[in-house]
Structure 1
């Protein structure tokens, strides 16, 4: 109870099995607020190529982290995209920046959906290092293990261990050969950067339990977000409502200043500077969508930025962001609210 963790194991099926032992050694733990979401906990009796048996369970959530369908922006029909975008933005009255930004965003998204078909996300992906020999060795290891479980003889257990050892050795050699081939084919900067990130081991961290100022730990994602908010914005009150109204102190007194700061040439230059297939934000708009429709979008974006600057009004959509928690070298403790960047 003091650690706020719950054991998810059910039943008494052994999780660790050898020729002379069968015990429950493996535990599945989760936080208290997630315990009701963990269902169908099960120990599989199939060969796992280890003394520890495979354990699976299901986490019931209200959302799916991996949508079953997606659109590949590289396969979009750009002529169709431009035509639909031009039609959607042909007659838009000049309104407040918030309304204007929503209309432009929806026009881009709608044009993309009409020009790029929805495809099913594959649930399986063949590994480049897999081979027919590995398939044969895996079948042999499974047969040997099942035979050893039935007979319980020392000779059959030795044969099972030897078959499993040969199978794992072949996996390691195949992975090494595939990795060498991949490294030898790196011939451009983007591929080299991806390889560098893999070797460096950098990864993003999800928000977990954070330590509160009183020493206790958060138990829900919402509570963790509140701790982060209080740590990074200690003096900012009612920030969630600030974008809803225009701030008079930000209104420009010079009527021509926004026209000198925001020009179509500058907007066009900024759009062209993006990497075409850079990851999209929360609006799911890739830079290539702006670049392909640049002649149509530049006048609207110029008006939008000018209006926002002149009125001192930031569209509510622009106040939303996706926060990533990168790892830091030789840092293992991420329970402090000051750790995320």
Structure 2
């Protein structure tokens, strides 16, 4: 909420956000640099902006989380409470341990911390497929696969489905054994971070702490110089890292991703409206409404059960010739190893590694008597 804004606080975008939250019946948590003073949230006095903002907070049933009068804004000549944490009524029980931290924030505003109960996301374990032990994977897959159907057998659709399920289950079991789950860790340093930046950051913090304790103008001037040097070097490091990344972009895939990064209007799934006239509120919700499209444009859409393949008829030998080992191997190797999996959860790398397994699985029983 800029102090020089001609419009009385809060700005229109916040009013609109609160209206939307009430419409969707969801809670709101607001962190703001209000640039307004009022004794209710710990300021030293009350100004016009503070009075206007307090009246708005009362009118829309928001609650102020600020506790005490620890300054949230600190400069060489002034300390004041200008930053607010506001929540809707139903979210008040979820907020606890609100406080202003003493950590240096590299700004004239200090960090504000609070706990949001029962809202911490659960960190799910994951598998880094690029770190798979492929030797162990092949050994586990070899032991998991049963004997292959005869080379000259022609199976029904149900029998083929059973073969596919056996192979898919074997791949999943082998991957679980050779690529164990790992727990998520916190974010590491960015690629552009250097030991020199760490030293400059520590130096800036020391200058800030010394200036706050002494209150001397010379110490504050020294802190501002140190902070300016740190921010300048950090910008240079970011710029150099970005330039190096841009120069390294080669190929269609990387260029496409690079284009999405720079795009000002990224492509997203459009919003849909159901039969009751209600619009979806996000791209994720729109994906769940894809069945609406099928029902609207294909009202008679029904699943069709496959019949048995039966015996091959004449003229289909050319199709059978495409299903030999050479063509299947070429087809599998044409995929990028770690391309996103389908509904079965199997990535191309699993199929490519399975090529070297002696006891192999056939994708079609028409091509060979082995499991490949």
Instruction: Give TM-score, length-normalised by structure 2.
Output: 0.59
For residues 100-127 of structure 1, the C-alpha deviation after alignment (integer angstroms, 9 at most, x for no partner) is 4433222001122333455555534233
Distance 1:11-1:148 versus aligned 2 partners, 3 A rule:
farther
Aligned to 2:127: 70
| Range with bigger deviation, 173-182 or 117-126 | 117-126
Between the aligned partners of 1:127 and 1:36, the Cα distance in structure 2 is 35
Aligned to 1:54: 111
Secondary structure class of the residue paired with 2:363: helix
Aligned to 2:352: 291
1:264 aligns with 2:285: no
Between the aligned partners of 1:98 and 1:255, the Cα distance in structure 2 is 17
Aligned to 1:321: none
Distance 1:219-1:195 versus aligned 2 partners, 3 A rule:
closer
| Range with bigger deviation, 218-227 or 80-89 | 218-227
Aligned to 1:230: 292
Kept in 2: contact 1:209–1:217 (CA 8 A): yes
| Range with bigger deviation, 155-164 or 186-195 | 186-195
Between the aligned partners of 1:157 and 1:198, the Cα distance in structure 2 is 39
Secondary structure class of the residue paired with 2:27: strand
Distance 1:49-1:227 versus aligned 2 partners, 3 A rule:
same
1:11 aligns with 2:44: no
Contiguous gaps of at least 5 residues in structure 2 = 1-17, 31-63, 150-154, 368-372
Distance 1:62-1:21 versus aligned 2 partners, 3 A rule:
closer
Distance 1:269-1:185 versus aligned 2 partners, 3 A rule:
closer
Kept in 2: contact 1:12–1:24 (CA 8 A): no
| Range with bigger deviation, 53-62 or 177-186 | 53-62
Aligned to 2:341: 280
- Residue of structure 2 aligned with 1:23, choices 35, 56, 81: 81
Distance 1:113-1:301 versus aligned 2 partners, 3 A rule:
same
Distance 1:215-1:98 versus aligned 2 partners, 3 A rule:
same
Distance 1:170-1:17 versus aligned 2 partners, 3 A rule:
same
Between the aligned partners of 2:296 and 2:97, the Cα distance in structure 1 is 42
Secondary structure class of the residue paired with 2:186: coil
The higher radius of gyration belongs to 2
Aligned to 2:202: 139
Between the aligned partners of 1:62 and 1:208, the Cα distance in structure 2 is 30
For residues 221-250 of structure 1, the C-alpha deviation after alignment (integer angstroms, 9 at most, x for no partner) is 9965554432464255698xx66xxx25x5
1:83 aligns with 2:148: no
Aligned to 1:170: 233
Instruction: Give TM-score, length-normalised by structure 1.
Output: 0.63
Query: Deviation of residue 254 (structure 1)?
Result: 7.5
Aligned to 1:320: none
Between the aligned partners of 1:37 and 1:197, the Cα distance in structure 2 is 41
Secondary structure class of the residue paired with 2:335: coil
Contiguous gaps of at least 5 residues in structure 1 = 306-341
Query: Deviation of residue 150 (structure 1)?
Result: 4.1
Query: Deviation of residue 287 (structure 1)?
Result: 0.6
| Range with bigger deviation, 137-146 or 218-227 | 218-227
Secondary structure class of the residue paired with 1:81: helix
Kept in 2: contact 1:271–1:287 (CA 8 A): yes
Secondary structure class of the residue paired with 2:362: helix
